[in-house]
Structure 1
Amino acid sequence: KQSHKLNSPTTITVPLQFIIILACAFSFIFIIVLICCIAIILKHRKKRKLNRYGEKLISQTCHTDNNHNQLKLQIPCCNNIEKDTQSSNRSQSSYGAPSSSEPSTFSGTPKLLARNKCLPSTTFHHPQSVKLLSTNGIDSEANFYASTDIISVNNGTNDLSSTLRGVCGTNLMIRSITNVPQMIMPPRKVELISSEIVPPGDLYGEGRFGQISIGNVYSYNRIIIRRLTKVSTMSRSLFAQESQLLCSIDHPNLANILYKTLDGLALVSEYTELGDLCLLMRRIVENDVNARLDYQAMLFVTCQISSALSYLESRQLIHRDVSTRNCLVFNDYIIKLTDIAMASPIYSNYYSTEAHLPVRWMSPEILINGGNSYSIKSDVYSFGITLYEIMITCRILPFAHLSDQEILLSPPLSTDLDITFIDRIQLKEIIDLMFACLRINHHERPTFQDIHRFLYQQQQTQSN
């Protein structure tokens, strides 16, 4: 019997408490690993976001000319003006396209001048056959829009930062105070939807009273949602004023308002999976440090931007943050100007830390005289810096050798720009245009009407 007891198997009983403790320990370890993974993902989120933007567009619309390291666009038709004409049922001449018999040109690229000297003037030709954009009224057949926070101001203020940002953190557009009669904007039907349909979305940026997020509504995969989060009488009034103008204007090269909520606390506007032009070009340089857009691609892009700004000019509207980061890139390389970059933390280093000002894109008269100096010609200056960004493929910041404080204390000249990366022979016409836009005397800068006319003619010449 004793031998039988010794050979029988021994049963080990594990206490239930031990199993619970072991499970808790494994759960704790799993949670720690998960938190570490999330931290790593958030740490590299900015870089991954940059890689995501533009990757699809590069593979679908660009190919490299190995002989010159130029990115050429595989666009169906290098003529966005024809697309605009079809969408608005207007004659092509209404965009200010010059006839071939009377060329319009920007000449006289300045040499490296002393900082206290002005740039040479440029002569513009106005062909008689051109129908200029009207400032006395609006074409009943036109269908325009600008995706921006817009508000009319009277005398303004010398404090640059006091009225620059809108309710949701975007740059706040203003109306130019001139003696030119203001254009009456006909109402545009914007579909009203329930606020329950609008998702919270992924946070893009925040302002004083609201925030911007990216989500999807109905068949739109990527949309921008402007939402008032701090509701008060004042914030409601400001947001309603912005919304009223946003829903009444329209243009094919400005991001479109799609929906407005019934409670008036949110707006839904166009966005794109491809991101903005600045992120796209930075991605191009990341893939190939020597790559750049060719001349035809630059004309195709800049002609669309100038088309949008020419429309804003005709309605005496000042954008105040014209730059590649505010140019959304859609399929077929369609560009739509927007206003959301100021709200994005991605571009925090593009704005001065304290006042949140785009000082490297601001004209000298604003830096010297303050907010009262905002005008359409200050937008022309910003467009000149935008041309510079496109020509250097956003490799460096404008005036990269100067700090924000140095620019605020002593506004730089156009000759302070580093043009090492620019092909001065192939891009001579655009370089001339850039320097014309960057003149110290704002009265000597061209109008957007002239700029668009010139770029259109250059585009037509390259297409033939």
Structure 2
Amino acid sequence: MILCMLLLASLPEASRTEVNPAICRYPLGMQEGTIRDEDITASSQWYDSTGPQYARLQREEGDGAWCPAGLLQPEDVQFLQMDLHKLFFITLIGTQGRHARATGKEFAHAYRIDYSRNGERWISWKDRQGKQVIQGNVNTYDVVLKDLRPPIIARFIRVIPVTELPMTVCMRVELYGCVWYDGLASYSIPEGETIAAPGFPIVYLNDSTYDGYHERRHLYGGLGQLTDGVLGLDDFTQSHQYRVWPGYDYVGWRNESFSTGAVEMEFQFDRPRNFTSMKVHCNNMFSKGVKIFQKVECLFKPRLIADWEPEPVGVATVLDDKNPSARFVTVPLHQRVGKAILCRFSFADSWMMMSEISFQSDMESVNPILVTVAPSTTEPLEAEYNVTEGTWETTSSVTSTWIGEKADDSNTSILVGCLVAIILLLLMIIIIILWKQYVQKRLEKAPRRILEEDATVRLSFYSYTIANNQTQIHQSNPTYERAFPLDLEYHQPATLLHKLPELSQSAEDSVCSGDYAEPDLTKSTPHQGFQNNVPHYAETDIVHLQGATGNNMYAVPALTVDSLTKKDISVGEFPRQQLRLKEKLGEGQFGEVHLCEADGLLEFLGVSSTEFTRQPVLVAVKMLRSDVNKIARNDFLKEIKIMSRLKNPNIIRLLGVCVRDDPLCMITEYMENGDLNQFLSQREIYSKFAVSNNIPCVSYSNLLYMATQIASGMKYLASLNFVHRDLATRNCLVGNNYTIKIADFGMSRNLYSGDYYRIQGRAVLPIRWMAWESILLGKFTTASDVWAFGVTLWEMFVLCKEQPYSLLSDEQVIENTGEFFRSQGRQIYLSQTPLCPNPVFDLMLKCWSRDIKDRPTFDMIHHFLLEQMESNI
């Protein structure tokens, strides 16, 4: 049997064409057992009978599923890992709970996926809108299938259950896809560019699903849209996908951006291969200045540490100015051997765009003594387009000669193949044993959130120039060590209180002061709460960020809970029987937020009696559960009193309450068009193209008008010394005619769970919107709201199609705040977007000033935006 397996392993594989996601949906072997028990591991298991080997879909073995040990906490990272032993193109995942023949009742409501191609670098999967969390099961027995868009190319897969409340979770899993015959492990390319022509929609030609590194406008070490199996349309502004921007399917470059007139791409593969051809899907919309490449030359190297072989393989295309269809261009590679290929694609016009690149190779064993000889000619190949086949065919050839010859004795070939296979098998076993020992040590030493051994990270961003006070400051892309190692005891609040005596004072006394005393670094020591001159993460000061129903709590000076009673409530008691629940918007630890229709609300509010007043009104109802403790009840009453004091056209208004009996409710305004994040993400910037195609759009003037209203609402809050603490587009509601009202319940919504960072299950923090002093010192002021306003403004000018700092993990975002603290010029800012004019981006940069005194007030921001609106009329 072993001999047969070795012989099969030595057989050549046929050349395959590019992958097709529509048919690449085969089960990979969890249910059938092709994936062996020893290849399925987990971070923990409750019992031996709920080990990872029982996580097979539709199988009822052991106690019915994999169950991690103990109650799964919201901050836990427990995973089920599968080793597929080679790269697979994974398009679908199926999950199931623990049925255990009707005795089990555990399942995963949601989960996320991490993957790796080499077992060392792990990547978190995100969908095309940047969301990581996948909705899971609703019962213990039904299988839920979820398409992975974009697909995953990986060898190792981790399924990580996600929960909002402590609970027992069990899972069964199946992966679907096909073998990644292409063998491509990564490609490195220049960053895609943007077309911004007046009167037309902005076309973004970036590689938006790239999972490698971004540095100095270059992508390296990953895979993305050039290997997702999706071919771009003839019109590059159109897309196969829903809710994406123009140009999404293509990666494109402008000729004038490259002094050499060519784009260099490097491709690295899982192992050395004999390459027969490369297929490149290109756009040829020549009426817009886009053509397929004029020629391409490729160099090879047999090992990653070797030099590039000097003899290129090249092809010159016959350009087509009659047929604007997108097409495949086939480049013959003439059995050249290599583990890496470097190709230079020369421009034929102003733009070059590609949507897919695939490689065909023969996997015969390569005899080490065989070497390639220079092609017989250095002349590039001529090529003609084959209309029937949809490819270009060469009309002249580059020849190659092999020195040495294969052994004629077939027995010798078989023996050599068997020996090589045995050696590889032994090496694989040794690697697996070492890897398991390595993982076990890391799991024993690592805290839940951050591994101690993760000593360095690479943070990089685009080069940009900031114009501030008429001074040009150039910010480059440094690669640098971790900003600061988080204290491994930072989860323990008692330890933090001991270490941060100067920061553990009442947040209510200092949160709205607006001034800020710079910490004296010369006096601070590790015992005083500082490590590497950076304060520890001040979670003890921000655990009360959430209200009882899960929304954020406004910070208000001189408002004590003990003095609050129902008599302090200044709004009327609304008959709860006139509320009709329509949709659950979110939930917290002690209550929920619902979208309701309120009958007779206008009449209740004193509006003159007409037929219109009897129509139901859409409202948001925050409802406190009846079994809550006294603290939660007082917090809810405190929130009612806070809301009753807010009377401004750009702030959500408290309309009524239901507090005579349980459950306690507060009724607030809700707007017809939902929240600003969803509103903008479903729209494009105004253009003739969008109007003619009936695409919902907004204009630059609309964006300014909405931003001005947000500034007006925040100016009003600042005048009362109220601090919002969670200003973002998700917390702004949109009415008719682009009216805006600031709300507070985005934190409670599952839709935006990916925007928050959870600490010890006690608070979720919008760290991507938070000022550095809020994250590191727990200090929330009007100035930190100004910082969040700058991020909110940035969201609006990308039409909410990208999360702030989307290229950084949560931990890297926190590390970046350490750079603000040190103030050594190495901090990373959000970059200027194509839609954002210079004056507005200058305002954002001022909002993100390191020193509080340098940030503008909301009064100044509001005045500035009014001027911008007037100048834009």
TM-score by length of 1: 0.63
Equivalent residues of 1:195, 1:262 under 8 A apart: no
For the structure 1 residues 405 and 110, does the alpha-carbon distance in structure 2 shift closer, same or farther, using more than 3 Å as the test?
A: farther
2:623 corresponds to 1:227: yes
2:804 corresponds to 1:405: no
Equivalent residues of 1:259, 1:268 under 8 A apart: yes
Q: Percentage identity across aligned positions?
A: 27
Match of residue 790, structure 2, among 373, 381, 384: 384
Equivalent residues of 1:437, 1:445 under 8 A apart: yes
State the distance in 1 between where 2:849 and 2:616 align. 42
Offset at residue 282 of structure 1 (A): 1.2
2:846 corresponds to 1:436: yes
2:740 corresponds to 1:328: no
3-state secondary structure, aligned to 1:359: coil
Offset at residue 108 of structure 1 (A): 4.4
Equivalent residues of 1:292, 1:392 under 8 A apart: no
Q: Which structure has more helix as a fraction of its residues?
A: 1
For the structure 1 residues 380 and 320, does the alpha-carbon distance in structure 2 shift closer, same or farther, using more than 3 Å as the test?
A: same
Offset at residue 416 of structure 1 (A): 3.1
Deviations 1:31-83 (A, max 9, x none): xxxx99xx999989xxxxxxxxxxxxxxxxxxxx992328xxxxxxxxxxxxx
Equivalent residues of 2:786, 2:855 under 8 A apart: yes
Q: Find the counterpart in structure 2 of residue 361 from structure 1.
A: 769
Offset at residue 175 of structure 1 (A): 2.2
3-state secondary structure, aligned to 1:69: coil
Equivalent residues of 2:621, 2:668 under 8 A apart: yes
Equivalent residues of 1:194, 1:262 under 8 A apart: no
Structure 2 spans left out of the alignment, 5+ residues: 1-137, 148-196, 203-467, 479-505, 512-537, 559-567, 600-614, 821-825
Q: Find the counterpart in structure 1 of residue 509 from structure 2.
A: 154
Aligned partner letter, 1:227 = M
Q: Find the counterpart in structure 2 of residue 113 from structure 1.
A: 475
Match of residue 253, structure 1, among 637, 650, 662: 650
2:686 corresponds to 1:305: no
Structure 1 spans left out of the alignment, 5+ residues: 1-34, 45-64, 71-105, 117-150, 178-186
State the distance in 1 between where 2:772 and 2:555 align. 19
Match of residue 802, structure 2, among 382, 396, 414: 396
- Aligned pairs for 1:68-79 (under 5 A) are 68-69=200-201
State the distance in 2 between where 1:291 and 1:204 align. 24
Aligned partner letter, 1:113 = Q
Q: Find the counterpart in structure 2 of residue 422 from structure 1.
A: 834
State the distance in 1 between where 2:773 and 2:594 align. 34
State the distance in 2 between where 1:110 and 1:252 align. 39
State the distance in 2 between where 1:275 and 1:109 align. 41
Equivalent residues of 2:683, 2:698 under 8 A apart: no
Q: Find the counterpart in structure 2 of residue 67 from structure 1.
A: 199
Deviations 1:215-244 (A, max 9, x none): 110134421000110333222211111111
Offset at residue 293 of structure 1 (A): 4.4
Q: Find the counterpart in structure 1 of residue 156 from structure 2.
A: none
Offset at residue 189 of structure 1 (A): 5.0
3-state secondary structure, aligned to 2:864: helix
For the structure 1 residues 250 and 191, does the alpha-carbon distance in structure 2 shift closer, same or farther, using more than 3 Å as the test?
A: same
State the distance in 2 between where 1:392 and 1:203 align. 28
Equivalent residues of 2:684, 2:698 under 8 A apart: no
Q: How many corresponding residue pairs?
A: 326
Q: Find the counterpart in structure 2 of residue 143 from structure 1.
A: none
For the structure 1 residues 310 and 109, does the alpha-carbon distance in structure 2 shift closer, same or farther, using more than 3 Å as the test?
A: farther
Q: Find the counterpart in structure 1 of residue 857 from structure 2.
A: 447
Equivalent residues of 1:323, 1:386 under 8 A apart: yes
Match of residue 673, structure 2, among 263, 274, 284: 274
Deviations 1:223-272 (A, max 9, x none): 10001103332222111111112112211001111111142710111112
Offset at residue 339 of structure 1 (A): 0.6
3-state secondary structure, aligned to 1:303: helix
**Does 1 or 2 have the higher relative contact order (CA < 8 Å, sep 6+)?**
1
Q: RMSD between aligned alpha carbons?
A: 3.6
Match of residue 283, structure 1, among 655, 658, 682: 682
Max Rg structure? 2
State the distance in 2 between where 1:164 and 1:304 align. 25
Offset at residue 292 of structure 1 (A): 7.3
Equivalent residues of 1:385, 1:434 under 8 A apart: yes
Offset at residue 201 of structure 1 (A): 4.2
Offset at residue 318 of structure 1 (A): 0.5
TM-score by length of 2: 0.34
